[in-house]
Amino acid sequence: METSQIFGTERISKILLKLVPPVMLAQLIQALYNIVDSLFIGRYAETGLTALSIIYPVQLLMIALAVGTGVGINTRISFLRGKGDPAAAEETAGISAPLELLLWILFAAGCLVGMPAFARMSTDSDAVIHDIITYGRITGICSIGLFLESGWTKVLQAEGNMKTPMTAQIIGALINIALDPLLIFGWGPFPQLGIAGAAIATVVGQISAALIVMKKEARKAPALKHYQAIIKDVFRLGFPNMLMQTAYTYYILGLNLILATFSDQAVTTLGLYYKWQTFFFIPLGAMQTCIVPVISYNYAAGNLDRCKRTLWDSVLFGIALMSLGTLCFVLIPGPMLRVFSNDPEVIRIGQIGFRWIGISFIPMVTSLIFPVFFQATGFGGRSSLLTVIRTVFCFVPLGWLFSRLGLNMFWLTFPLTETITTLTGFFFYKSFLRNHYSSNKRADQ
């Protein structure tokens, strides 16, 4: 079925049911990258588990560059197809590989040079510092698979092809899962590499996924004279997503530094939350991925009603699915924590923290989907502002403020931040609708 038939005329609920499950399944398997790494490393050494918690913001920064650029490419392709300009959309697809390769080179150089300083800033433990440098350098320098796969995947998703990226990510994750215990513990003929083995397994899985997507996605690059204009527009459209992911890096690093004033176990607890959050937020992440091309296409075609329907159908679907995460975090935090750690202090801290965080999941649905809506409609400023409010003005300042009242009170940061962001997003949305209808009314007159 053509894109115009899928995005422009198909019932919204049917579109979501068609597009979301493959992406959800792929992201479910993708989430196992970090979860399985943490599971095996936690059994190998507690210092490695702390190192993974500390390195997590750097991984988010890598994803911000790779996926954010891919989202910009995705949005531009969808918008151009909605305007009926397939030739320009094809040029945008062709720029994916060279642009992602450039970003990989820059990020790899940063990891090579800056990882020791980052590790020493985050902890005083020599063992943890060693693990951070080892894991961070391997996954950063060898991240070419992640960058290429992210760009190519977003091109395919913009064209409605969700199955090929799903297959690639599933196979990549399964390779990572299979290699993890072999390389970490040295099973069979493999050497015992510890946390380095986990890093190697991760990058091999990423490169495998990229090779699979490449078979479907290799496109001819556009003429060199078109690069500047296309790249400028890609970054304009992808910047809100990059900012969102980069802001995650900032606020998680900030929260890690705040929790480090209490104990390493408090930092580990936050890291374990993000492992589980990744798993439970798969429905929301899949929803964000799938609604961008649908909203962008229909906004370019002048069909605001379908944009609104896509937004609210995805919100309702997200809330229904995220309720399961809320129940798990509130009712069974202990068993969830024990999957990764047997440290009694981590369990004690986490049982309190997970319950407070769990109640933030419902307002988090709208606090994360509103920025995606504004990004897809070309209102990058509002999308970016929501991200800044959430991560810069709420998470870290509120985290510091509540930490002054004790570690238990620190966890109130999460529900309060998501509530503030949701209310602000709703205000921006109402303003967007008023301005849109006012402009149309003046045009009619």
pLDDT tens string 151-193: 888 888 777 777 788 788 888 888 988 898 899 999 878 889 9
Asked if pLDDT for residue 443 goes beyond 90, the answer is no
Using the CB atoms, write b or e for 327-357: b if 16+ within 10 Å: ebbeeebeebbeebbebeebbebbebbbebb
Among 131-140, 316-325, 360-369, 397-406, name the one with the lowest average pLDDT. Answer: 316-325
Q: Averaged over 30-59, what is the pLDDT?
A: 77
Cα separation, 152 vs 216, whole angstroms: 9
Residue 37 pLDDT: 74
Residue-averaged pLDDT of the chain = 83
Q: pLDDT band at residue 438, thresholds of 50, 70 and 90?
A: low
* Most confidently modeled range among 36-40, 125-129, 213-217, 329-333: 329-333
Q: Which residue has the higher pLDDT, 365 or 437?
A: 365
Asked if pLDDT for residue 281 goes beyond 90, the answer is no
* Most confidently modeled range among 59-68, 95-104, 352-361: 352-361
The domain tally of the chain equals: 1
Q: Which residue has the higher pLDDT, 161 or 370?
A: 370
Q: Averaged over 224-252, what is the pLDDT?
A: 77
Among 3-7, 35-39, 172-176, 349-353, name the one with the lowest average pLDDT. Answer: 3-7
Asked if pLDDT for residue 116 goes beyond 90, the answer is yes
Report the Cα–Cα distance between both ends of the chain, in Å, rounded: 38
Q: pLDDT band at residue 362, thresholds of 50, 70 and 90?
A: very high
Q: Averaged over 293-319, what is the pLDDT?
A: 85
- Torsion angle of alpha carbons 225, 226, 229, 234, nearest 10°? -140
Among 32-46, 92-106, 317-331, 412-426, name the one with the lowest average pLDDT. Answer: 32-46
**What's at 400, amino acid-wise?**
W
Residue 445 pLDDT: 37
Residue 441 pLDDT: 44
Q: Averaged over 217-238, what is the pLDDT?
A: 74
Asked if pLDDT for residue 437 goes beyond 60, the answer is no
Q: Which residue has the higher pLDDT, 355 or 30?
A: 355
Q: pLDDT band at residue 40, thresholds of 50, 70 and 90?
A: confident
Residue 138 pLDDT: 95
The parent domain of residue 105 ranges over: 3-444
Residue 197 pLDDT: 92
Asked if pLDDT for residue 408 goes beyond 80, the answer is yes
CA nearest to 373, candidates 444, 329, 431, 332? 431
Token pair in block for residue 208: 């495998």
Has this prediction a pTM greater than 0.75?
no
Residue 220 pLDDT: 64
